[in-house]
Structure 1
Amino acid sequence: MPHCIVEYSQNLEQEVPPADLLEAVKDACIASTLFSVEDIKLRSCPYKNFLTGGQEDAFVHVTLKVLSGRTVEQRKQLSHLVLEALTQFPLKNVSFSVEVSEMETDTYVKRVVLSQ
């Protein structure tokens, strides 16, 4: 059950479709063997306005929110797999970053509301 949030500079959409970024993140999550494919949740968020050091530098940042209980080594492996997957795209002058953050099992709640 990771929640995978892909944030990226909108100008990258001309070079790589957002769906391809999501697919790469999903494949890396599967390769980690930490999650079942049906538990992986993915979404993307383009940014029209962005600055890095006062300039519009292209970026892709992925946040992986996982339930607590995984080791630092497992989370580290996951972030490296995702970074490796993202850097396979033929993009230049782009900053890639990945962050794995833990959601506390004791405070995470979920309810799926289905139509009747």
Structure 2
Amino acid sequence: MPHCIIEYSQNLEQEVPPLDWMEAVQQACLESGLFQPADIKLRAFACKHFITHGVQDAFVHVTVRMLGGRSAQQKSELSQSVLDALCRFAVKQVSLSVEIVEMENESYLRKVIPA
């Protein structure tokens, strides 16, 4: 855990490859000390149709979904770390945002089916 879901405007793909966004988010999660490398799951989705501030401005939004049990300070620091990682790219005219979402321990189920 966590599940890091990166949504970004398709017009950013020429400036920053999706894999670069993913690696930056992964590194921020690792540096938080809250997760082991094998536990971090990342997905990136380009949005073809979007409106930000009334126009088609570029954006990146990261949702970090994780099980409960972290303090408010830990979640705040993780959010800031991910945002800082996104800010390291030299992209102009972009809206960057991060959201931490707690998943309920009681309702989250997982099963890995081997090959």
Normalized against structure 1, the TM-score is what?
0.97
Shift of 1:103: 0.3
Any gaps of 5 or more consecutive residues in structure 2? none
* RMSD across aligned positions (CA): 0.6
1:73 equivalent to 2:73? Answer: yes
Q: Which residue of 2 aligns with 1:44?
A: 44
Q: Alignment partner of 2:20: what SS?
A: helix
What does 1:14-33 align with in structure 2 at a 5 Å threshold?
14-33=14-33
The 2-side partners of 1:70 and 1:42 are apart by 20
Shift of 1:53: 3.2
Any gaps of 5 or more consecutive residues in structure 1? none
Q: Which residue of 2 aligns with 1:104?
A: 104
Normalized against structure 2, the TM-score is what?
0.98
Hey, which bits of structure 1, 4+ residues long, moved more than 6 A?
Answer: none
What is the percentage of aligned positions where both structures have the same residue? 56
